[in-house]
Amino acid sequence: MKTLVLCLALGGVALAQQWEVGGGGGGAFHKNATVKNASRSGDAGFKIGPAFSAFATQNMYEHLSGELRYTFQLSDMKVSSGGAEATFDGQSHAIHYDLLIHAKGRSSAIRPYVIAGGGGKYYRGTGKESAVAPPNADLAILTKTSQFQPLIVFGGGVRVRVAEDVYFRIEARDYLSPIPKDIIAPVPGASMSRWVHAFTPMVSLSFGF
Amino acid sequence: MRLVCLRRASTHEMRSRLLRWTAAACIAYAFLIAGPAVAATFGTVVPLGGHTSDLALDERRGVVYVAHFTAKRIDVVSTVTRKSQAPITVDKQPASLALSPDGRYLVVTHLMAAEPGNNSVTVLDLDANTRQTYPFTSVPLGVAFTADGKAFIITTAQFIQFDPSTGTSAVLGDVAATVTLPPQPAPCEPRQFIRASLSASGDGTRVWGIADADGEGCEANESFVLFHYTPGAQVPLAASSWTASPPEGPRVIATDRTGAFATTGWSLFHHRFFEVAEWINSSGLFEIGGYAIDSARNKIYGQVAKKALMGTTIPGSINSADGPRLLVADSDNLTVREELKLQEHISGRAVIDSRGDVMYAVSQSGLMILPVGSLAAHHRLTASQEDILFRGNWCDRRSMTQEIEISNPGGGETPFRLSTTMPGVVLSATSGVTPARITVSIDSSVYRNTNGTAEGFINVNSDAAINVLPPIRVLVNNKEPDQRGTLFSVPGRLIDLQMDPVRNRFYVTRQDKNEVLVFDSSNFRQVATLRTATTPTNMAITRDNRYLIVGADNAQVANLYDLETLGFVRWIVFPAGHYPRSIAASNGSILAVSRLAGEVEDCSTAVIDRIDAANGFATPLSAMGVWKNCVDPNTALASSPAGGKILGAQPDGTVLLYDAQLDDFVAARRDLEKLQGAFGALSDEEFVIGGYIFNASLVPTQAFSGGMSETSGVISSRWLAMRTTGATAAGAGHVEHASTTDGATWSAARLAEAPILPDANVVGRTFTRTLAFTRDNSAYVLLSRSGLTVLPPDYDAEVGLPALERVVNAADFKPAVAPGGLITVFGQNMNPVNVGAQGTPLPTLLGDSCLTIDGQLVPLVFVSPGQINGQLPFGSSGTPSAVLHTPNGVSNALKFTVQGTAPSVFTVPVEGWADEVPSIVRAANNETVTLSNPVHFDDWLSIYVTGLGAVSPVVATGAAAPADPLAVANTRPEVTLGGIRLPVDYAGLAPGSVGVYQINVKVPFNDVPTGMQIPLTIKQGAYETTVSVRVVR
């Protein structure tokens, strides 16, 4: 029911504003959390992985747009310390609404912009569980489960018109979320810093209508 | 193919053999008409009324073609009805035959060729129903097809490739040019082959053959030529000449699917013409026996005439001593796994169908059909144990009982009889029908004065069973408290003992099964088995401690194993006729004493070979220093611990010393008339053989004191020598410290049973290496009559009375215990060494200890000096007393409290985790719950506990829990996870185990708290226990 209401609202606005839809791909580079116990510390988070995104943009004003975006990141999880690394298959699904503040007006062929937004990120550990202790099991354990976390997005980019109603974008976002501690779980006696950043540069193509 | 009677040069011999066959047939016929055989036999004999010489299987048409030599015809026997169909007559006596791979051509060779012009081959086109006879210039002796559709024919003078579709022949080689015929005594000059047998591999890529050479003035000899033909190979024809004693009979050959191996006579050959295994106790008779190799199952089905038949007037008589037997052997080392009774002897070629279901063999009456693939459908017998070892029970010396199970491997009902002449042995039944459990009871009063272990046998017989079951060995040890050592039953003929210098393992050669047994030296359990060549003797570990080399008395190879992986690495191939018996590895060379099959450079006994382990071969030393390389075949070699020297000891008193630095022999002397028994190089300067000590020059300097004539083992233990000696009037044997300085001995203790002693009739036992010290210095191990005897390092120390301190449950070591649960008793001076029980029902005497609770015997799981685990009898209640009985005496009576139920979760070690974790298994991946394998919503869990108390139906204390019906706990436990109650699907004994219970629960789909340490609580009756587990969604 909530979804239906949102669609209707967007549909209503669309009558008066220009829209873009598009998709793109890139990579996710993470600034991971620090995990430590009484005797040592390590890195806990995600490895570099590909990212894919789809979005719908509403050009609301001359210098302001709103964008609903879905981003899929295929990043394995890891806990590394002292040359040993535990890894585990993982992925995340982010859905967020961003505001894009453009430096130039709608009619410009090249429109730099900055991004700020928020949403949620659904993390999933998808690896194979084993009773055997993985490396760095005294710091954190990577787990086959899922967890939803709030998401803050910052970034910037530039949109280039490459043809009538066709745009090419280069942009970078920082997906900032609390680290999913059900999935990357510090063991009793260990503690972990709170946030994980996923810097995600992407290129995309969008179509206006 | 059987051609022996038709030697071109000896028609007299042929007639003689025909007469013998006729006589045998008459006797067999008379026996058959006199009445039916009493005992069951395996297979069906199709009498064909004469002498058959070869066969070929035509699976497409469902028939077997049998060359009926005397009737000049090819008999056709249906594989379905097993009856003869219309035969195919041929003009001359058919000697051998082969069917082309496409089944079209049946090629028949004719042998009655005394006159020129009679040499011929007949090609029967089975599709076109035509025939054509082709003359040959020399007598065709054998035929086999290769995959290209061409027939390979061996004649008296040539190897020929023959195309049956065109009748054209191509000479592959002349015998004289291809083969160096074996030398013969003058005036014999071998000139040609006189008989041969061929066998094509299953894939048709190779044909193997064995042939005899003959010439004017030659008598029957022990020489033969082995060859194989591989079309398309760089050297298609390869041959090797041999002599053998006894002769390599039967003179029939069989190869495997790829032609890599072939067996003929009593040998198994590799395609590079070295012998890898032998059929044991073969007489070498040419006329009896045959083989078929089932490569898919790694089995060889075969018969060889045993030595007992050598003197039989009529070979193969149905009345012969042990009757005809089909041996089911492993295809790599010819270890016989089963003996099946046959109606009559196999007497030539045997083949097996493509599915490995049915074997067809030329037999005395014609054709024998053996359904080897359906043995399970026949009455057979097997026993659950090879040996039964009874040990004096300190708690109850009146009688001892054990159970054996007699069963049919195929699952059917087979009647059997049991008998024994061993005094004091009572069987619960002397006959029965499989499956049957027989209780064997010993009246220990009969063996009260036995100085060690008495031995006897239980014979298992059956007229209905087609197999012959070896007798079950019964060993009774009723040692006195001062007799030291814990016995471990290890069946078989044990020869050599080697301790691994860097791993907690030791190795024992078991000669009768062609194995090296690998034991864990911390608990003396066998952990692996290495397959060896035939009749393994002595072992050596390479100086890098990486490899084990095992010699064999009936193979011309030694086996090399990687001790890291316990995998076979390669054969070490010895020169033809060299059988490696004793091996020693030094810092210089690895040497082996090789028994010789014939005379080599004026030596006919044995030589020293140098082993190149990396490249897998051995070569004889040109000389042993200044001495000729010729030694006694029973010479034993032992390297010093530092690897600087190798000691050689010969039964005639000669001793040899090899210096690794000089890589040569530096001493050989004979100061004593005879040597045997224990031998060892205790250092580079001190050596012990039998009762004598030798110095660095091998001069005997001292004899050990004590007057004990027989010695078994000697080692350098810490700063002393240890040795074991044989039985005397005072006991079964002794273990004692010994000084290599003055020969003094002290701290002698009587052994529980006699160590293995020198035996000139057993290969590898003239000199004995039966004593070793574990790598962790925790125990002495010695080979003894019933297997292993283990002694603590301080075997001679005064040991106080056993003292019990507390009784707890074996799961979490808390005081709560319940009937039927596993308990742990902590204390001091308990069992001298660590011993774990093997199998169920659990023994009530383990190691040297037995435990009673209010006088009731406790089945034991594990015993050690400080801890004993066992099962609390189901009938226990209240505050009973535990009492431990050991050789050192009886402990205090320790009172403890038994609850009705006391669930306690076992903990188990899991790789990588510092602490043990609760034994809770997720059904999703069948792995233990840990932080990295947490409980998920909707999981099924199995929780392993003890202390759930009484069960229904009742299970005997010490017995394994049944799987059907399950033994359910009378009081159902409640299980909660994070306070949420989990549905219990099952709570009762875990099937197959003793004292271990299993609770199966289901985790709900939601509403269970998640976290790293969620409490899982089991409550049963008034008692509850809690462990923590990680739970995630």
Question: Which 8-state DSSP code applies to residue B603?
Answer: B
A130 contacts on B by Cβ (under 8 Å) = 925, 927, 932-933
Is a pLDDT exceeding 90 seen at residue B774?
A: yes
The reply to whether residue A188 touches residue B1012, judged by beta carbons under 8 angstroms, is yes
Confidence of residue B451 (pLDDT cuts 50, 70, 90): confident
Angstrom distances, CA of residue B30 to CA of B43, B46, B52, B315, B366: 20, 17, 20, 16, 17
Interface residues on A facing B, Cβ-Cβ cutoff 8 A: 129-134, 137, 141-146, 182, 185, 187-188
d(CA B888, CA B865): 12
- Give pLDDT, residue B926: 95
Using the Cβ of B910 and the Cβ atoms of chain A, whether some distance falls under 8 Å is answered with yes
Intra-chain end-to-end CA distance of chain B, in Å: 73
Q: What's the mean pLDDT in B231-251? A: 87
d(CA B171, CA B140): 13
The reply to whether residue A130 touches residue B927, judged by beta carbons under 8 angstroms, is yes
d(CA B186, CA B218): 8
Residue in the structure block whose two tokens are 């006329």: B287
Q: Which range has the worst mean pLDDT, A29-38, B288-297, B475-484, B513-522?
A: B475-484
**Angle, CA B686 vertex, CA B682 and CA B689 arms, to 5°:** 75
The reply to whether residue B932 touches residue A185, judged by beta carbons under 8 angstroms, is no
Q: Please name every residue paired with B137 in a beta bridge, in sequence order, or none if there are none.
A: none
Mean pLDDT, 10 residues at a time, chain A of 209 residues: 36 53 96 93 94 94 94 95 94 96 92 96 96 95 95 96 92 95 93 92 94
A187 contacts on B by Cβ (under 8 Å) = 931, 1012
* Chain A with chain B: Cβ pairs closer than 8 A: 60
Confidence of residue B394 (pLDDT cuts 50, 70, 90): low
Burial of B990 (0-12, 13-18, 19+ CB in 10 A): buried
- Counting residues of chain B whose pLDDT is more than 90, the rounded percentage is 70
- Residue B176 host element (H or E): helix B175-178
The reply to whether residue A130 touches residue B934, judged by beta carbons under 8 angstroms, is no
Contact B131, B176 (CB under 8 A): no
Q: What's the mean pLDDT in B322-351? A: 93
The reply to whether residue B927 touches residue A129, judged by beta carbons under 8 angstroms, is yes
- Give pLDDT, residue B180: 72
- Give pLDDT, residue B727: 66
B930 contacts on A by Cβ (under 8 Å) = 131-133
d(CA B67, CA B89): 10
Residue in the structure block whose two tokens are 């969620």: B1014
A146 contacts on B by Cβ (under 8 Å) = 1033
Which of B934, B1012, B1033 faces A146 most closely, judged by CB atoms?
A: B1033
Let me know how long chain B is. 1033
A182 contacts on B by Cβ (under 8 Å) = 1010, 1032-1033
Q: What's the mean pLDDT in B544-560? A: 97
d(CA B762, CA B783): 15
Residue in the structure block whose two tokens are 């009655």: B112
Burial of B626 (0-12, 13-18, 19+ CB in 10 A): exposed
Using the Cβ of B933 and the Cβ atoms of chain A, whether some distance falls under 8 Å is answered with yes
Helix residue ranges, H only, B303-430: none
Which of B931, B1006, B1031 has the most A C-beta neighbours within 10 Å, making it the best mutation to test the interface with A? B931
State which residue of chain B sits closest to A187, comparing Cα positions: B1012
Which of A39, A123, A145 has the most B C-beta neighbours within 10 Å, making it the best mutation to test the interface with B? A145
The reply to whether residue A185 touches residue B931, judged by beta carbons under 8 angstroms, is yes
Strand, coil or helix: what is B476? strand
The reply to whether residue A187 touches residue B925, judged by beta carbons under 8 angstroms, is no
- Give pLDDT, residue B238: 92
Q: Return the structure tokens found at B352.
A: 């097996």
Angstrom distances, CA of residue B888 to CA of B480, B481, B538, B605, B782: 10, 7, 37, 51, 22
Which of A129, A139, A146, A148 has the most B C-beta neighbours within 10 Å, making it the best mutation to test the interface with B? A129
State which residue of chain B sits closest to A138, comparing Cα positions: B913
The reply to whether residue A132 touches residue B925, judged by beta carbons under 8 angstroms, is no
Which positions ≥6 away from B893 have C-beta within 8 Å? B881, B882, B883
d(CA B652, CA B674): 5
- Give pLDDT, residue B868: 96
Is a pLDDT exceeding 50 seen at residue B37?
A: no
Q: What's the mean pLDDT in B765-780? A: 92
State the amino acid at position B715 in one-letter form. Answer: I
Which of A129, A146, A182 faces B932 most closely, judged by CB atoms?
A: A129
Which of A143, A181, A187 has the most B C-beta neighbours within 10 Å, making it the best mutation to test the interface with B? A143
Q: Please name every residue paired with B74 in a beta bridge, in sequence order, or none if there are none.
A: B67, B88
Using the Cβ of B911 and the Cβ atoms of chain A, whether some distance falls under 8 Å is answered with yes
Extended beta strands in B953-992, E state: 968-969, 974-977, 980-982, 984-989
State the amino acid at position B326 in one-letter form. Answer: L
d(CA B799, CA B805): 17
Q: Return the structure tokens found at B538.
A: 């002595």
B1028 contacts on A by Cβ (under 8 Å) = none
State which residue of chain B sits closest to A133, comparing Cα positions: B912
Confidence of residue B311 (pLDDT cuts 50, 70, 90): very low
The reply to whether residue B930 touches residue A133, judged by beta carbons under 8 angstroms, is yes
Task: Give the pLDDT confidence of B699-715 residue by residue, as tens digits.
Answer: 999 888 765 568 888 88
Which of A138, A144, A192 has the most B C-beta neighbours within 10 Å, making it the best mutation to test the interface with B? A144
- Give pLDDT, residue B1020: 95
- Give pLDDT, residue B188: 63
Which positions ≥6 away from A111 have C-beta within 8 Å? A102, A103, A104, A105, A158, A159, A160
Which has the closest alpha carbon to B694: B707, B677, B680, B705? B680
Q: What's the mean pLDDT in B722-749? A: 77
> Is ipTM strictly over 0.95?
no
Q: What's the mean pLDDT in B642-662? A: 96
Min distance B926 CA to chain A CA atoms (Å): 10
Tell me how crowded residue B347 is: count the other CB atoms within 10 A of its CB.
31
d(CA B524, CA B788): 9
- The segment with the largest mean pLDDT, out of A191-200, B659-668, B878-887, is B659-668
State which residue of chain B sits closest to A141, comparing Cα positions: B932
Confidence of residue B931 (pLDDT cuts 50, 70, 90): very high
> pTM higher than 0.90, yes or no?
no
Averaged pLDDT of chain B: 88
Which of A131, A132, A145 faces B1032 most closely, judged by CB atoms?
A: A145
Min distance B977 CA to chain A CA atoms (Å): 18
- Give pLDDT, residue B588: 92
Q: What's the mean pLDDT in B667-671? A: 96
B917 contacts on A by Cβ (under 8 Å) = 131
Which of B913, B929, B1032 faces A143 most closely, judged by CB atoms?
A: B1032
- Residue B682 host element (H or E): none
B910 contacts on A by Cβ (under 8 Å) = 131-133
Min distance A133 CA to chain B CA atoms (Å): 5
Min distance B934 CA to chain A CA atoms (Å): 8
Using the Cβ of B934 and the Cβ atoms of chain A, whether some distance falls under 8 Å is answered with yes
A188 contacts on B by Cβ (under 8 Å) = 1012-1013
Strand, coil or helix: what is B671? coil
Is a pLDDT exceeding 60 seen at residue B954?
A: yes
- Give pLDDT, residue B220: 54
Burial of B276 (0-12, 13-18, 19+ CB in 10 A): buried
Which of B912, B929, B1010 faces A182 most closely, judged by CB atoms?
A: B1010
Contact B551, B539 (CB under 8 A): yes
d(CA B246, CA B266): 9
**Angle, CA B581 vertex, CA B580 and CA B583 arms, to 5°:** 85
The reply to whether residue A133 touches residue B1013, judged by beta carbons under 8 angstroms, is no
State which residue of chain A sits closest to B919, comparing Cα positions: A131
Which positions ≥6 away from B697 have C-beta within 8 Å? B657, B667, B669
The reply to whether residue A187 touches residue B1012, judged by beta carbons under 8 angstroms, is yes
Min distance A147 CA to chain B CA atoms (Å): 9
d(CA B251, CA B248): 7
B932 contacts on A by Cβ (under 8 Å) = 129-134, 137, 141-143
Q: What's the mean pLDDT in B865-892? A: 92
Confidence of residue B234 (pLDDT cuts 50, 70, 90): confident
Which has the closest alpha carbon to B555: B332, B249, B285, B283? B332
Using the Cβ of B813 and the Cβ atoms of chain A, whether some distance falls under 8 Å is answered with no
d(CA B774, CA B764): 23
The reply to whether residue B927 touches residue A131, judged by beta carbons under 8 angstroms, is yes
The reply to whether residue A131 touches residue B1032, judged by beta carbons under 8 angstroms, is no
The reply to whether residue B912 touches residue A137, judged by beta carbons under 8 angstroms, is yes
